[in-house]
Structure 1
Amino acid sequence: MNKILTLTLAGACLSLSAFAQKKPADRLQQDKAAIKNMCGCHDVTFEYTETFPADSSYKPKGYHKIIDAVEYITVADETPGRIVLQHLLIAGEDVIKHWTEDWQYENQTLLAYDKDNQWKKIQLPAAQVKGQWTQKVFGVDDEPRYEGSATWVHADGRHYWEGSSDAPLPRREYTTRSDYNVLHRINHHEITANGSVHEQDNQKILRENGKDKVLVGEKGVNTYARIDEGRCKEAKDWWEKNKAFWALVRKGWDKVYGNNTTINLQKKVNNEPLYKVMMALEKKALNKELGGEALEKEIATTLQQFATGKDVSLK
């Protein structure tokens, strides 16, 4: 692994030698620096391949690669114990709101994925999460994906976090596969000399009647190489126009997660998928056709419907 050259915290670059001189009491600042160092404009390559089948009857599906993608990552929100990173994908002249990382310090409440678009709230003991960060990953509409808690490690010139969690099928397969319904993920995020790398060691699992059957393993390597910030101007401009709307969406989801012990994510409500409903609301907000309390109420009602199937507005 490449030696880390810089870590960024609160807009300033800190040399590795400066971090080496930190005392253990300053570990929290190292963690925050590592998380925020993943921000910036990047060339991104996504690579996946199935590895070891559980038995000889399964034939691995092969190699999947996406190259020539540009992704902008920015801090969408920050409090003393929370850092929200927003990913924005640039595809030609279009900007696509990509996934969201919500990092929470010593968080005890997680949404654990079961199967079939259902998540259940679990509580972890305070002693178990001491010094740890939960990485909560959300989809393009900030709907739940997966969550895991682990410790950021700063040792031997390396800065990395590695956690495990169950997740629904990845978007590259959820419309083409029905032979498994849970992806058990081991996610490894590490800062590199020119960006970061997200490595995955996954298992594709069929979960039925309380039992898990492993089909095959999967290796994933997503590489983020920092490039000139000017190449992400479209994403920056798009985010400035739309970030207020998505802050309301995150606020709405926080209420949903707080008020429900189980999330049953609906594929469609009134014959419309979530992304279409959110695109329409985003457009109304941008064109100032809907705003203020009316917009918050519409978002809250929409999220409650999709998260539980119940037509009840949030209070």
Structure 2
Amino acid sequence: MKIRFIAAIGLAAAALGVGLGGCATSTAQSTTPGATSSHRNADFEADRKAILAMAGNYHVTFDFIETVAFEKGYELKDRKLSGGNEIVRIIADDGDFISLQHILVVGGDDKFPVKHWRQDWRYEPESVLVFTGANTWETRDLSKADVKGKWSQVVYQVDDAPRYGAVGAWEHEDGVSAWTPPREWRPLPRRDATKRDDYQAVDAINRHAITPDGWVHEQDNTKLVLKGGEPHALVREIGVNTYKKFDDFEIAIGDDYWTATEDYWAAVRAEWTRIEAENPSFGLTVQGEPEAVYMPILDLAAAVEDGEKTSEAAADEARDIIASFVTTSPAGLQARLASAD
């Protein structure tokens, strides 16, 4: 399973992520379950329609190119272009909260699923989880003025550990629905975390826009060096992840995987949610690409899918794995990074 997953995730390395229900249809919903009457206005419904429109079946292209160096002697790296087929499913819709799960369908003649990233959207949130460097995160409290008419997006990676979060407003102008938050930090993407050690965070502007045949995730990324003192820019990168509606692949492989494992993943999400709720900040003791965390959690999901373990037994093991890598005193991790040569 480990070899299979590592080979598959390379196809989409550029992309990087409680008790929720099963897969829903990918069709955008016009109703607003759970929303208060004050939210039932044209802007709110247009926002929801845009978010829900990201669910569906897609061929995805991940395209990243470094553009401007900010450190003397730095040479721009080669363009990174990859892609694959992916389903995006609505796994929660409570009106003010929408959760979208991405699942890749990859492989040659023998296709198989790979759980990918997750995006959670919340309307006028009281707080947002943000990345602070060194595989650490903190909950940032928000005022009502900060979030009026806005949505947070928090992205989670393949094992449902957090990656990054931000707050911004959807705009519906010139025939385009787009969400663009202010610049926020995020961890290294896997395409670099497994191969580079010359920068430690990405300062990113992260735009989602709905297109006639799907949607696009545009990124304006500044790669930051955090070691040895104040953060400084290494190089700027432009990223364009294009999701084009596409049904000519084995869609059922992804849906069947989710049906078999959704209870297990609900328990894993609940554990990360508990950690977020109980700790103003937390981190992982393993730095860089946290394969030691996500591989055993993904392997447990495979055991559930194959009928080798129950969801409950696998979830118990997953909670133990998470506990072994999570620290609720992450300041020391960041201090060690900043003081490193």
Scaled by the length of structure 1, what TM-score is found?
0.84
Partner SS state of residue 192, structure 2? coil
- TM-superposed deviation, 1:247: 1.4
* Alignment match, 1:70: 85
Alignment CA distance shift 1:263-1:201 (3 Å): same
* Alignment match, 2:8: none
Residues 57-66 or 112-121, more deviating: 112-121
* Alignment match, 2:161: 143
* Alignment match, 1:152: 170
* Alignment match, 2:52: 36
**Map 1:46-61 → 2, pairs under 5 A:** 46-61=62-77
Alignment CA distance shift 1:48-1:263 (3 Å): same
Answer yes or no: is 1:91 the counterpart of 2:91.
no
Residues 180-189 or 234-243, more deviating: 234-243
Alignment CA distance shift 1:288-1:58 (3 Å): closer
* Alignment match, 2:253: 234
One-letter code aligned to 1:221: V
Instruction: Say if 2:171 and 2:177, in contact at 8 Å, map to a contact too.
Output: yes
Partner SS state of residue 9, structure 1? coil
* Alignment match, 2:230: 211
Alignment CA distance shift 1:107-1:238 (3 Å): same
* Alignment match, 1:245: 264
In 2, distance between residues paired with 1:55 and 1:272?
30
In 2, distance between residues paired with 1:187 and 1:272?
25
* Alignment match, 1:289: 309
The answer to which structure has the higher strand fraction is 1
- TM-superposed deviation, 1:168: 1.0
Q: Given the alignment, which residue of 67, 79, 87 partners 2:94? A: 79
Alignment CA distance shift 1:9-1:291 (3 Å): closer
- TM-superposed deviation, 1:98: 0.5
Q: Deviations over 1:239-260 (max 9, x none)?
A: 1111121111111111110011
Q: Which runs of 5+ in 1 are unaligned?
A: 1-6, 13-22, 311-315
Q: Deviations over 1:89-121 (max 9, x none)?
A: 111202100001011111132222222111122
Structure with more relative contact order (C-alpha pairs < 8 Å, separation 6 or more): 2
In 2, distance between residues paired with 1:298 and 1:261?
25
Alignment CA distance shift 1:272-1:124 (3 Å): closer
Scaled by the length of structure 2, what TM-score is found?
0.78
Alignment CA distance shift 1:289-1:43 (3 Å): closer
Partner SS state of residue 277, structure 1? helix
Residues 225-234 or 246-255, more deviating: 225-234
* Alignment match, 2:187: 168
Instruction: Say if 1:40 and 1:229, in contact at 8 Å, map to a contact too.
Output: no
In 1, distance between residues paired with 2:309 and 2:187?
35
Partner SS state of residue 244, structure 1? helix
Answer yes or no: is 1:255 the counterpart of 2:274.
yes
Alignment CA distance shift 1:280-1:65 (3 Å): closer
Instruction: Say if 1:8 and 1:34, in contact at 8 Å, map to a contact too.
Output: no
Answer yes or no: is 1:106 the counterpart of 2:121.
no
- TM-superposed deviation, 1:214: 0.4
Partner SS state of residue 326, structure 2? helix
In 2, distance between residues paired with 1:86 and 1:11?
20
Q: Given the alignment, which residue of 144, 147, 158 partners 1:126? A: 144
- TM-superposed deviation, 1:302: 3.1
Alignment CA distance shift 1:44-1:76 (3 Å): same
* Alignment match, 1:180: 199
* Alignment match, 1:194: 213
In 2, distance between residues paired with 1:191 and 1:172?
25
Instruction: Say if 2:263 and 2:311, in contact at 8 Å, map to a contact too.
Output: no
Answer yes or no: is 1:302 the counterpart of 2:318.
no
Alignment CA distance shift 1:227-1:189 (3 Å): same
In 2, distance between residues paired with 1:49 and 1:65?
9
Alignment CA distance shift 1:211-1:149 (3 Å): same
Instruction: Say if 2:100 and 2:120, in contact at 8 Å, map to a contact too.
Output: yes
Residues 170-179 or 275-284, more deviating: 275-284
Number of residue pairs matched? 290
Instruction: Say if 1:256 and 1:303, in contact at 8 Å, map to a contact too.
Output: no
One-letter code aligned to 2:137: W
Instruction: Say if 2:71 and 2:233, in contact at 8 Å, map to a contact too.
Output: no
In 2, distance between residues paired with 1:143 and 1:75?
19
Q: Deviations over 1:19-73 (max 9, x none)?
A: xxxx992211111110110111111111000011114421111211003x10110
In 1, distance between residues paired with 2:253 and 2:311?
24
Q: RMSD value over aligned CA atoms?
A: 2.5
Alignment CA distance shift 1:247-1:53 (3 Å): same
Answer yes or no: is 1:273 the counterpart of 2:292.
yes
Residues 35-44 or 106-115, more deviating: 106-115
Instruction: Say if 1:266 and 1:309, in contact at 8 Å, map to a contact too.
Output: no
